[in-house]
Structure 1
Amino acid sequence: MRVFLTGATGFIGSAIVQELIGAGHQVLGLARSEAAAQALVAAGATAHPGSLDDLDSLRRGAAATDGVIHTAFVHDFSDYAGAGAMDFRAVEAIGAALAGSNRPFVITSGTALLPPNRLATEQDAADPASAGAPRVPSEEAVLALAAQGVRSAVIRLPPSVHGPGDHGFVPALIRVAREQGVSAYIGDGLNRWPAVHRLDAARLFRLALEKGVAGSRYHGVAEEGIPIRELAGVIGRRLNLPVVAKTPEEAAAHFGWLAYFLELNSPASSLLTQQQLGWQPREADLLTDLAQGDYFQA
């Protein structure tokens, strides 16, 4: 299968490139710069010039391939609503190019848009009042494409997709600990984040592309929920810093933009995903990765 992949040089996308090529697929990767194009060619893929806001380039990429995996997203949390709107326009453009073809279209979403404070499953609809609200329209649009002849699927990823090269929430939490001189959590710290290794996530994207059922929601979750207090404890030990609690009132000043996500209590299950796609996480868990990986390299 020839696959159009957005976000192909990103943390997750670059792992998907290798997963797809290793399984015998060809990859056409969206490249917004010459450096990105060169990286894709070096990885064994073909570069497709364009960007997330160049809708014509997205349509051309989708039209020229047998299926699409969409992982690109502008992670600008100072304008999260704007990033979500851009993503929605990209999803609409790709979906229009695939309509009536029965080709697969797999997009990235997040467990943060699910109802909080209970174990969420794949059967849960996205919550417009959730922390992930800006991404809800994209998820709903993709699921609706199943009625338009697209084998569409959503993969919800947890706040922590970890592994070498991670530049997401956990590295941000480590940076805050270094800057503030303490490793902190909010309240009692018993709120939980699910997690998955990037290589396990990449394998799930391939399986959803190959075997996914139209209109399906899948969860890329290896660990249902890690208490934030445990995460802060590992960071404190590795940095030789005190581990302290911050009140909700203190959180914004201490953590900045990260406070909003650090207060999430969003455990999630992937039982149905594992049953339906035969996906089995097999890489290191988050706390093991923290202990053995490069998260604390200067």
Structure 2
Amino acid sequence: MDVFVTGGTGLIGAAVVKELLSKGARVIALARSEAASDKLRAFGASAFPGDLKHAESWVGRAASCDAVIHAGATFAADMGRIDRLSMLALKQATKHRKQPLKLIYTGGIWLFPSVQGTQAITEKTPFAPVPAFRFMAETIRTLSHGTDLNLVVIHPALVCSRLSGPIAEMTEALKAGRPFRTRAASETLWPLVEANDLAALYVLALQQARFRMTLMASSISGISVRHLAAHISARHGLPLEIETVQADKAVPPETDWSAGYALSQKIDVTQTTRATGWQPEHSTIEDMVVSLSR
């Protein structure tokens, strides 16, 4: 299978590229720099020169593949516009295919609201995105219409690796002897997923015969920031203080990328497990903290 990947050197994309290669897929990944190309080739993937901002430079190649995994984002003021235009261009480029293109679009849990008590977010929960990610909800609705694409949307929880995500950031603060500063309160619930476990879900999704799905991706359904800090403190034998910070009033809501950390969420992955057989290795907070703490 030929799979085209955007964002192949990012936190999610790099893990997905490696997982695809380990399963025998041929991976062509978008690269906007020589450094990105070198990194992708080191993984064993082919690097295709292009830029998300210039969809005409790559959508033709992407549409010629068996599947596309979209994990790229610019995190600039025009991120929403670039994402929407690139996905519309990809959809247009698929019109002459004999079979619909398989597309996995990366959404996120910050498209959903906070929950209370025993409530949990499922694939049926209506969108209520923070302003910075409102564009994703609109793009997903657009991609869902028509027959040119077989669409799977994966909504990852907060993604954790040894170098990125809440566990790595908390560990860094602890070792530096400073508080962990966050938009969340101590009792805010954060769903978590380890990067390689998430990548395994992407590959499982590609293998499904039924290819019009929404999948929630969380191996820790929801843990309070206080309890997560306690686990990391116990792991290293050092105290970690949580410091809640307010939004920077100088940052417009449309570019406030960290607003979602204030959401208190719990994720139900029953449908994901039933549809794909996904069994994440890091299914307890103890496993995740031990595996990812440096």
Per the normalisation by structure 1, the TM-score is 0.82
Q: Higher helix proportion, which one?
A: 1
**Which residue identity does 2:39 align to in structure 1?**
A
Q: 1:276 to 1:128 in 2, by over 3 A?
A: same
The answer to whether residue 211 in structure 2 is matched with residue 211 in structure 1 is no
**1:120 Cα shift?**
0.6
From 184, 189, 192, the equivalent of 1:192 is 189
**1:42 Cα shift?**
2.0
Counterpart of 1:66? 66
User: Quick check: 1:91–1:141 contact (8 Å CA) kept in 2?
Assistant: no
From 77, 85, 91, the equivalent of 1:95 is 91
**Which residue identity does 2:246 align to in structure 1?**
A
Counterpart of 1:264? 263
Matches within 5 A, 1:119-130: 119-128=120-129
User: Quick check: 2:183–2:247 contact (8 Å CA) kept in 1?
Assistant: no
The answer to whether residue 250 in structure 2 is matched with residue 251 in structure 1 is no
Q: 1:183 to 1:34 in 2, by over 3 A?
A: closer
**1:150 Cα shift?**
1.4
What SS class does the counterpart of residue 4 from structure 1 fall into?
strand
**1:129 Cα shift?**
5.8
User: Quick check: 2:9–2:39 contact (8 Å CA) kept in 1?
Assistant: yes
Counterpart of 1:165? 163
**Which residue identity does 2:68 align to in structure 1?**
V
Q: 1:259 to 1:175 in 2, by over 3 A?
A: farther
Cα distance in 2, alignment partners of residues 172 and 210 from structure 1:
34
Unmatched 5+ stretches in structure 1: none
Counterpart of 1:17? 17
Cα distance in 2, alignment partners of residues 31 and 188 from structure 1:
38
What SS class does the counterpart of residue 3 from structure 2 fall into?
strand
**Which residue identity does 1:88 align to in structure 2?**
R
**1:213 Cα shift?**
3.2
Q: What do residues 245-288 of structure 1 show as CA deviations (whole Å, max 9, x unaligned)?
A: 64xxx5347xx968633321121111101101111112364554
Q: What do residues 103-142 of structure 1 show as CA deviations (whole Å, max 9, x unaligned)?
A: 2000100011113213110122322567742321222222
Q: What do residues 153-189 of structure 1 show as CA deviations (whole Å, max 9, x unaligned)?
A: 100011x2112332x4544455666778334677862
Unmatched 5+ stretches in structure 2: none
The answer to whether residue 178 in structure 2 is matched with residue 181 in structure 1 is yes
Counterpart of 1:224? 221
**Which residue identity does 1:49 align to in structure 2?**
P
User: Quick check: 1:197–1:286 contact (8 Å CA) kept in 2?
Assistant: no
Counterpart of 1:141? 142
Of 128-137 and 91-100, deviating more is: 128-137
User: Quick check: 2:168–2:292 contact (8 Å CA) kept in 1?
Assistant: no
Cα distance in 1, alignment partners of residues 220 and 209 from structure 2:
22
Q: 1:114 to 1:244 in 2, by over 3 A?
A: closer
**Which residue identity does 1:42 align to in structure 2?**
A
**1:14 Cα shift?**
1.5
Counterpart of 1:84? 80
User: Quick check: 2:80–2:133 contact (8 Å CA) kept in 1?
Assistant: no
Cα distance in 2, alignment partners of residues 124 and 273 from structure 1:
14
User: Quick check: 2:179–2:243 contact (8 Å CA) kept in 1?
Assistant: no
User: Quick check: 1:177–1:183 contact (8 Å CA) kept in 2?
Assistant: yes
What SS class does the counterpart of residue 104 from structure 2 fall into?
strand
What percentage of aligned pairs have identical amino acids?
Answer: 27
Counterpart of 1:50? 50
Q: 1:259 to 1:138 in 2, by over 3 A?
A: closer
Per the normalisation by structure 2, the TM-score is 0.83
- RMSD of aligned alpha carbons: 2.9
**1:13 Cα shift?**
1.3
Q: What do residues 223-259 of structure 1 show as CA deviations (whole Å, max 9, x unaligned)?
A: 111111112334555483453564xxx5347xx9686
Cα distance in 2, alignment partners of residues 279 and 265 from structure 1:
24
Counterpart of 2:106? 108
